[in-house]
Structure 1
Amino acid sequence: MGRHQRWGDVAPPAPVSVFADQCPHRHLPLSAGTVVEGRLRSAYHGWEFDPARQASTVQP
């Protein structure tokens, strides 16, 4: 089992999501990214991951 990163809004009862700590594009750590409008954005290439859709939403 690989490393995982947990993230979400800090105020309860907001949901918390868990992703593998690896971007599928270049396998770099997603933990270096930021949360933007509820989506996790990769620090390296700007890909965004939506926890509700469980998919990438923006691919620059």
Structure 2
Amino acid sequence: MSGKDQRPTPPAFSPEDMARRRRRSVALALVLGALVVFFFVVTLVKTGPAILNRPL
């Protein structure tokens, strides 16, 4: 083998591809945010009002 590896360069993303990728990223961020809020609410519900009766 000689010298450098000759790899083909991938084609550039079209504006439609970039818009699709951005929509997918926003959707994933919203789903992850909703999951965080869901776990937080479930944690509060499971601990119940006893969480307010603890010494500080």
For Structure 1 versus Structure 2, the TM-score category normalised by the shorter chain is: under 0.3
TM-score after normalising by structure 1:
0.17
**Which structure has the highest helix share of the two?**
2
Structure label with greater radius of gyration: 2
Q: Tell which has more relative contact order, 1 or 2 (C-alpha 8 A, sep 6+).
A: 1
